Amino acid sequence: DADRLTQSVVNLVSNAVKFSPSGGLVTVTLSRRERSVRICVRDRGPGIPDSFRERIFRKFSQAAGSPESMRKRGAGLGLSIVKAITERMGGTIGFDSAPGQGSAFFLEFPAA
């Protein structure tokens, strides 16, 4: 579903921009792996606190961010929606993050 895939990527990019410092770089990459295709959105923000990682994809969950990102807070539904869409399309969602070095969220789908 192209519309739902677009919605998911836009949500990840929006989050990356929200949690990046002003003028920070956000990158989106598409890569083919052995049996899958991966879309990755990487930011250079503060990273995800260890205490939040377990609940990051739960509804209404929000991590603390910079004062600027806190003013732009949403309802905490975005990542749970992206997860549901991705799984409905047979994919998986995951992330890598390091404190002070940013985060990378990725969607993987079986290659056709």
Splitting the chain (112 residues) into consecutive groups of 10 residues, what average pLDDT does each group show?
A: 94 92 93 94 91 78 53 68 96 93 95 82
Predicted local confidence at residue 68, as pLDDT: 46
Residues 6+ apart with CB under 8 A from 86: 8, 92, 93, 107, 109
Residue among 2, 1, 15 nearest 79 (CA): 15
Predicted local confidence at residue 85, as pLDDT: 96
Predicted local confidence at residue 48, as pLDDT: 87
Predicted local confidence at residue 50, as pLDDT: 86
pTM, full prediction: 0.83
Residues 43, 103: contact at Cβ < 8 Å?
yes
Predicted local confidence at residue 66, as pLDDT: 44
